[in-house]
A and B are shown apart, each in its own frame.
Chain A
């Protein structure tokens, strides 16, 4: 049984597919989008986030850490990320909730138990479970096993993917995935490389492949002012050639994640741009609609 490395689970989620859903966030992503609002999910390795503002100096972490990653210097708590082995013991005892472990390992069966806790809300709302990330297809074997278990339980499944994956990985999960939530950031490949660090060729090809297979797809476009707001027309033209795009959702960029970058001591590359206003969103929706697409604002 393959273990998955996860960031966390979000319950009562209504923006990751239809109805009331539980979303499992998996760790690791091949893209490095400059606007990423889930930095804790980028690296495939485990990480401990430390919010020093929340530390109450109880010292419990020091007593349980065999790697000596926690210490006190001049009465202040110091966390040495390089020594940390990510065992999570300090997180469990931290009395101020200042520490969080991203990257716990979990078996598909354990995941199934957590993901079905809200099962009673799925049927009445047309909801289910969404695998997201990071990029879930980075852990395609785990996803495959988990999706099979979910389908055995009769639960509706969705995969929220950036599409940067091998075809074989898509093949592993496609049969047990009811709907794809598929991110498209740019149609222009140069820009894609500039802002995500990767080519968009496999992304475009995989979407065509999924479409040929006849799976319903909800395309999601993060709308980042001055960065990809010129991409609506080429994206719309491309999507119009596909048959199973049931919805195109525009997700306005919010610059809310800087504290997460700080807690993980990661470089913050968030673009210093404003959240698109309603007019910008309406314009973008209008362009996509002009291609006959069922485009909506993510705010709706």
Chain B
């Protein structure tokens, strides 16, 4: 049974785009959508957790399903998702919306999912409870600052519990705890609602597996049916059942707005099952290799949004780092398939073998740049900074793009806000208004300065105002979690949620943290130095001329624009002045954010990655003093401004290493771009390994990048049909280069061209 992946490939790659629903198995997507809406309206007076659970149950009971006899994993449920155009990345990258709810509609087309409930209640509840903040948030997004958001999307279920108990076991645990508390007379009304919502959800899941099982009986594939039958009654016991469980759970969780943004550290998580299968002779290594081909291929075929993360390696409780034979098997299959989905997050510690590190380097060099490497030591220090000891943080799992989260213990809301801090420079120049629209946002400051110090002080005033605004907005939104987005499916996997009878997002976790990310730091640093040079030191223009130049997008000031762009005093080249200024601004931000108390009994975490928002918000941001034109992307992550990193990757690394990475628990991946010729041959793999190890030994927290040259990108831009498979690591995940917008392609080419290493 476990073979034939390549023979079946044509039936696998397009199985989501061209599904073959059993029409008699349930309601078609349009009918289901109408009926769900009516169902929700009918039950609108129920407490929100129960409404969510009942809607979930309604969907799983009534949606059409399909068993693909060419696959070995069952999961398919007709929720009307249009995989061919909506789950792909291209829309996401083009996205430019001022209202987060539109994002969800547009990017996932989840018309009939319970995510719709989130969209509806997110808007309704906010407009009712915090109308001023709701409008301010829309304004902040529309003028390129960013959006405050209660991040219900990036979540991590407790995979240990899911595999230990299985679906029926999770259901039984909820029933048992409810019964126990009830008989002790300790059950509060809101806890009763909560437990009931979990019980309804897990009954729905077990019934859904039964539906899949019964459907599978139509085909003569006993192991397929056997696996589903087993999972109806028991936790998974074999590798095959583990993979089916993981895929099913991820699919079911995402029927809500929440996404399981990691499968966990799978080489460790799955290892006992792997050993047992091999030891008992149930499956051969080759059988398991074949299972992983089917498993990974599903993520790619489903074009899972922003790519499905999974983690490898990590430190064991005794402090040593391990890889194992399953790590290598997984990397082999991953390399063989060459997909960008799922994506791999490797937990690094110095004990990882050179063999593993060179294997990973080889995959990255081959173009599988979706692999990101995260440094355990920096993460541990980051957790220590917010009072969490290593004994607890040792079990962290990187999720989303690269953000650490304590599985089963922490909801980190890893993306509550991305703040374009270059707006603080703009506001210091204009006196508090947006340069493109003239809209005032926040405080008023003077519109002219006689000294650089005056301007510099105004910059910090605006910076602090922006941070405080975001904190306030996030706090107010997250207090409304239970009215907007309770998650019984997710909470059902978490022991502390079950013991407390509280939701994942609202008091159920041991740590309920919040994360703010600041980006455009390089644009900010270069711009402040440009103001100093142009207006105050060399007096090439007056302050009001600078305002006019920026308002007119440098028209009439082209020569000054060229001069300032050409100026070598730019961040990212291991130069003292700009790097020192970066440190000061960075420390100011981290000092204001890290460890700050949030509204959920936890603390704020700080990160500096931007994902694709540097392009989205850049598009709405006027010209900046560093010579950047209006609407161009601002700098991403802690990278230099595109085209300004003139001394190569080692210099960029050293600039970034001057910053205190222990404050970056919210993460910051260094984006390296290296020309393929610089790392060719065996020596190239050794050099990449040494480069990674050095960066981490010096305290760096995460690395991602591309081994690529500008020539091939230019060629791909001209002849996209020939380069359909060219992957680039763009922000927190990979994309096919040909799927990017023209502006993004050019931005990437510009950065690639400037990463020369000769001075």
Interface residues of A (CB under 8 A from B): 8-15, 18-20, 56, 58, 95, 97, 114, 117-118, 120-121, 124-127, 298-300
Contact = CB atoms under 8 A, between A and B. Distances in A.
Closest 3 pairs between A and B when the two form their complex, measured CB to CB: A125-B690, A300-B681, A14-B687
Contacts of B678: 12-14
Contact of B697 (A13, A19, A124, A126): A124
Contact of B759 (A9, A20, A95, A127): A9
A62 to B, nearest CB: 14
A10 B758 contact: yes
B450 interface: no
Interface of B: 559, 562-563, 566, 574, 647-651, 654, 674, 678-684, 686-687, 690-691, 693-694, 697-698, 757-759
A12 B757 CA distance: 7
Contacts of A97: 566
Nearest to A125: B690
B654 A20 contact: no
Nearest to A300: B681
B682 A300 contact: yes
B496 to A, nearest CB: 41
Given A8-B759, A11-B759, A120-B694, A19 B559 contact: no
A300 to B, nearest CB: 4
Contacts of B574: 117
A95 B649 CA distance: 23
B366 to A, nearest CB: 16
Contacts of B651: 11, 117-118
A81 to B, nearest CB: 22
21 contacts: A8-B758, A10-B758, A11-B759, A12-B691, A12-B757, A14-B678, A14-B686, A18-B683, A20-B650, A20-B690, A56-B562, A95-B566, A117-B651, A124-B690, A125-B686, A125-B690, A125-B694, A126-B690, A127-B690, A298-B681, A300-B683
Nearest to A95: B562
A298 B684 CA distance: 12
A12 B758 contact: no
Nearest to B646: A97
A95 B691 CA distance: 33
Contacts of A19: 686-687, 690
Given A120-B694, A120-B698, A300-B683, 13 more contacts: A9-B758, A11-B647, A11-B757, A11-B759, A13-B678, A14-B678, A14-B679, A19-B686, A117-B574, A117-B651, A121-B690, A124-B690, A300-B681
A95 B686 contact: no
Given A95-B563, A120-B654, A12 B690 contact: no
Nearest to A298: B681
A125 B691 contact: yes
A58 B681 CA distance: 43
A126 B683 CA distance: 11
A299 B680 contact: yes
Given A117-B654, A120-B654, A12 B686 contact: no
Given A11-B651, A95-B566, A299 B681 contact: yes
Identify the interface centre among A18, A120, A299, A300: most chain B CB within 10 Å of its CB: A120
A114 B651 CA distance: 11
A51 to B, nearest CB: 14
B757 A20 contact: no
A300 B691 CA distance: 19
A95 B627 CA distance: 13
A12 B650 contact: yes
Contacts of B648: 11-12
B678, B680, B687 — most chain A CB neighbours (10 Å): B687
A155 to B, nearest CB: 15
A14 B683 contact: yes
Contacts of A95: 559, 562-563, 566
A95 B678 CA distance: 28
Contacts of A126: 690
A97 B756 CA distance: 13
Nearest to A10: B758
A300 B682 CA distance: 6
Nearest to A100: B758
A11 B650 CA distance: 8
Nearest to B756: A10
A8 B674 CA distance: 19
A95 B567 CA distance: 9
A19 B654 CA distance: 18
A8 B757 CA distance: 10
A12 B681 CA distance: 15
A117 B694 CA distance: 14
Nearest to A117: B574
From A9, A11, A114, name the one whose CB has the most chain B CB atoms within 10 angstroms.
A11
Given A9-B759, A95-B566, A15 B694 contact: no
Contacts of A118: 650-651, 654
Contacts of B683: 14-15, 18, 300
A11 B698 CA distance: 19
Contacts of A298: 681
Given A8-B759, A11-B650, A95-B566, A58 B680 contact: no
A23 B615 CA distance: 36
Nearest to A118: B650
A67 to B, nearest CB: 22
Contacts of B681: 298-300
Nearest to B680: A299
Contact of B559 (A12, A58, A121): A58
B453 to A, nearest CB: 29
A6 to B, nearest CB: 10
A126 B675 CA distance: 21
A300 B563 CA distance: 43
A31 B757 CA distance: 27
Contacts of B647: 11
A138 B126 CA distance: 75
Nearest to A92: B568
A292 B238 CA distance: 53
A14 B684 CA distance: 7
Contacts of B757: 10-13
A8 B691 CA distance: 23
A260 to B, nearest CB: 12
Contacts of B691: 12, 20, 121, 125
Nearest to A94: B566
Contacts of B758: 8-11
A124 B684 contact: no
B650 A121 contact: yes
Contacts of B686: 14, 19, 125
Given A120-B698, A124-B693, A20 B687 contact: yes
Central interface residue in B562, B574, B683, B693, by most chain A CB within 10 Å: B683
Contacts of B566: 95, 97
Nearest to A17: B683
A124 B653 CA distance: 15
A58 B565 CA distance: 14
A189 B687 CA distance: 38
A118 B647 CA distance: 11
Nearest to B679: A14
A177 B691 CA distance: 24
Contacts of A13: 678, 757
B759 to A, nearest CB: 5
B562 A58 contact: yes
Contacts of A10: 757-758
B703 to A, nearest CB: 14
A118 B657 CA distance: 12
Contacts of B759: 8-9, 11, 114
